[in-house]
Structure 1
Amino acid sequence: MSLKLRLAYLSILLFGSHYTFAQGQGRSPYSAIGIGELTEETTAAQEMMGGTGVSFGNTFYINTLNPALMGKDRVVNGMKYVALSVGGNGYFRNQEQGTLLGQDFGMNLSNLTMAFPVTRAWGIGVSFKPHSIVDYENVVRRHFTGSSSISSYHFSDYGGLSKVGLTNSVQIARGLYLGVEGQYYFGNIVRDTTSLFISSATYSRFTGRSSMSGFALKGGLAYAQKLSKRWKANVGGTYQLGTDLSGERLHIFQNLANTSNGITPLATPDTLAVSDFATSLPSSYRVGISLEKTYQFLIAAEYAFTDWEGISKPFDARAAANIRNSKQMSFGVEWIPDVNSTAYFNQVFYRAGFKSLQTPYYINGIHIKDNSFSFGMSMPLGKGGSYFDWALSVGTRGTLDKELVKENYIKMTVNFSLMRDWFHRPRIQ
């Protein structure tokens, strides 16, 4: 069934009168396109600044945007600090199409990252995070021509890609940082179509499962130029190499029946086809500039571009027809009253930002936009340099034009940024 029809007939589960819970980022029809909805690369500290962070970073959190900055400032006063970052996202979505309204909530792990110093100028990081999430359900009911009989089609798309990264970050000159991240992608995307002839109790289910994996590289560069005793200007950029993922695509057919024991298989599932499968991930780049008064004030601006139209192997025909290049503008500010103060709220980082995203989704001649404002705080946990970060983003994605779906959402991101001096050997006086 075409994407237009699937968007036009919204899910009874999604837009029903009840409240639903989903693992992921909340059910969305846009996540049914291609490899799914891409997750943010940011931690909470970067999310609250509109997703900026490619040109700057500090000791108290791991920079997950620019591999050049992941190892920055891991050595403080001669002591080597290991940093651990654990974070998650929660999405609440209000969705509408015409007179239809719905709500959904989803949550997922956003990152698990560790960075540690090898020398003063060399740091290593390892990370695990989701890369894309597919989470969509839709029910379509249609009359047979010339008959009062009704057939029901239940579409269920789920799965996504995950990513493991190994980063090397090196300071090659004063204020100049270089980094490279090796990445391994893996995951499965499942698309189920279950049909039911209402007057009978027999279901037919077609399942398509795409399994894929592959390697990629991301490079980063950052430079800080001192302007005065307290002020400096930062510039930074990253480039993500495009790559091909390979695997297999499995198609299965199964008949089921609605019995007193629930929906049960009538026979062993039939494997219709198993074939080799490949799809491409796009190249992308991000550049940014920031003006910083060290540990007091920072303002940043960034631009990002993803070359979806340049990929050689779209995920499927629907993705080829409905995905275009993506662009993003981000702005952020950071302020800390007095990092040397003993008063708790003088040591808190206060941040805010704005992001304007032209998503990859191009449907019915409309390029879907996503605009959001964000704010949050990084709050100290004791005296060891560890912080609890929280960010709140409020945004709108999509439009009501041409039978499309508009989503108003609130996104909550939390992160624990933990610092530990693992390499310091205590001395007995």
Structure 2
Amino acid sequence: MSKKILYIFLLFISIKAVGQRTTSSPYSFFGIGQEYRSQTVEQASMGGVGLAFGNTYQLNLMNPAANADLLYSTFSFGAAFNQLSISDATSSQNSQSFSLSYFNLGFPVGNNAGFNFGIQPNTNMGYSLINFELDGTGEATSATRFYGLGGTSRIYGSFGMYVLKGLSLGLEAGYTFGKIENSVLNQRADVFLATNNREVTNITGAGVKLGLMYRKALDNNLILNFGATVKLDQNLSTKGEGHLYSLYLEPDGSESPRDTISSTVINGTIKSPVKTGIGFGLGKNNKWYVGVDYETQAAFDVQGALLGSSSNYKYGNSNRFSIGGFYTPKENSITNYWDRVTYRAGLRVEDTGLLVNGGTTTTDFTAIKDFGISFGLGLPLKGLSNVNVGFEYGQKGTTVNGLLKENYFNFRLSLSLNDKWFQKSKID
């Protein structure tokens, strides 16, 4: 990304299932794509708050210790629609995308423990940018297109149980897998053939997260909540192949490959350091809750060949601060449906840890920050099942130093089905 990028040529837009989560963000160009947060629609609607909150019939994807609170078997899945506006110092462009977000099943194990397993996107990549080289008269001498797609998914299982009154511990184990494709296509003026440097990389790795929750009853039916998580360091293996070849660009934009110029083997590692989180909350059961979360992580360490690895970006420490909560007027109201609706809101401030060199010197790095405001509704169905809708408006990046700024709107939707399974039949 440099100041020579004149405009966004094409945003990659498509519909994919879990495992290739759709994104249109140009910031997915870096590394193995844009990270997808592990959270439900309910948690996202509260600004991402959830490290300290457990519920008897709602899944918590942020802290495995919350599984200890499950009293009902719960199946949940979510989807998201994204409206994105991307701008530089002179122009802007809009795009839309849709994705499935997660599939999860959780159920109690005895009276003091619970288990949850599922699949969800982990990172996503989807960008297409063009860069023009100009001569002294302003005429284009060459055009370079940067293109990428794919991503990684994560399958996981988590278990939580009470070990003392009010204190639960949890363990989550997951496996990350996926494939990404990056290419740099260059066409020079008055040259018959173009060149394309294309890399296809497979990514795999396992990870473990530990969790803790503590709940203390206070006066006036108030409950003080505390939660903490530690995601242990994780190594992701990157293996694949790269090919540099010549080609002829047809008038319709399709490629006619000619000769292979060189081939390379990709064999690298992405080291993700320990990530810690801490959360506090106060509320009344099934009535209201207000919480604060904070997460932090040291810089990623990328070793080995990746097309996006260059002096144009690097990683630093990342952190996230969230505040949010919910309010339910009267959970068991039989006269007014809207009294049984749960109302959620929150905000999030995040330093992504990505630093991009958009200037003219080799040391002109700018930190990419993200900010979002969210709210949502929990619409009750028969029994304890519910439909959850969430809305989020946010901004990411900046237009200074030749970079891009994103203004986005996310609409999220989930369905949570709850029932009691594995019960012995009783005969009167």
Query: Which of 66, 86, 98 lines up with 1:69 in the alignment?
Result: 66
1:368 equivalent in structure 2: 368
Are 2:343 and 1:350 aligned?
Answer: yes
Aligned partners of 2:365, 2:424: CA distance in 1, in Å?
63
8 Å contact kept, 2:242–2:265: yes
Aligned partners of 2:97, 2:299: CA distance in 1, in Å?
26
Q: Secondary structure at the match of 2:331?
A: coil
Kindly provide the CA deviation profile for residues 14-73 of structure 1, in whole angstroms up to 9, marking residues without a partner as x: 4xxxxx73444542221111122111211110011110010012123200000100342x
Aligned partners of 1:46, 1:336: CA distance in 2, in Å?
15
1:277 equivalent in structure 2: 268
1:252 equivalent in structure 2: 243
State which drifts further: 260-269 or 397-406: 260-269
Aligned partners of 2:418, 2:351: CA distance in 1, in Å?
36
Q: Secondary structure at the match of 1:68?
A: helix
State which drifts further: 232-241 or 52-61: 52-61
Aligned partners of 1:354, 1:148: CA distance in 2, in Å?
46
Aligned partners of 2:6, 2:274: CA distance in 1, in Å?
34
Q: Secondary structure at the match of 2:28?
A: helix
Aligned partners of 1:171, 1:374: CA distance in 2, in Å?
32
State which drifts further: 284-293 or 86-95: 86-95
8 Å contact kept, 1:254–1:265: no
Letter matched to residue 376 of structure 1: G
2:361 equivalent in structure 1: none
Question: 1:366 Cα deviation (Å)?
Answer: 2.4
Are 2:39 and 1:36 aligned?
Answer: no
Q: What runs of 5+ residues in structure 2 fail to find an aligned partner? A: 16-20, 357-363
Give the alignment of 1:221-300 within 5 angstroms: 221-228=212-219, 230-259=221-250, 263-267=254-258, 272-300=263-291
Letter matched to residue 371 of structure 1: F
8 Å contact kept, 1:296–1:335: yes
Q: Secondary structure at the match of 1:112?
A: strand
Letter matched to residue 273 of structure 1: T
Aligned partners of 2:231, 2:411: CA distance in 1, in Å?
27
Q: Secondary structure at the match of 2:282?
A: strand
2:56 equivalent in structure 1: 59
1:338 equivalent in structure 2: 330
RMSD: 2.5
Identical aligned residues as a percent: 25
Aligned partners of 1:319, 1:124: CA distance in 2, in Å?
44
Question: 1:422 Cα deviation (Å)?
Answer: 2.3
Kindly provide the CA deviation profile for residues 95-152 of structure 1, in whole angstroms up to 9, marking residues without a partner as x: 1111111111122222111111221112111121111111111112224689967322
Q: How many residues align?
A: 413
1:359 equivalent in structure 2: 352
Letter matched to residue 387 of structure 2: F
2:42 equivalent in structure 1: 45
Question: 1:291 Cα deviation (Å)?
Answer: 0.3
Are 2:405 and 1:406 aligned?
Answer: yes
Query: Which of 67, 72, 90 lines up with 1:99 in the alignment?
Result: 90
2:194 equivalent in structure 1: 203
Q: What's the TM-score once normalised by structure 2's chain length?
A: 0.89
Letter matched to residue 56 of structure 2: T
Question: 1:400 Cα deviation (Å)?
Answer: 2.0
8 Å contact kept, 2:248–2:258: no
Q: What's the TM-score once normalised by structure 1's chain length?
A: 0.89
Q: Secondary structure at the match of 2:254?
A: strand
Letter matched to residue 354 of structure 1: L
Q: What runs of 5+ residues in structure 1 fail to find an aligned partner? A: 15-19, 76-80
Q: Secondary structure at the match of 2:401?
A: helix
Aligned partners of 1:320, 1:427: CA distance in 2, in Å?
67
2:416 equivalent in structure 1: 417
Q: Secondary structure at the match of 1:355?
A: strand
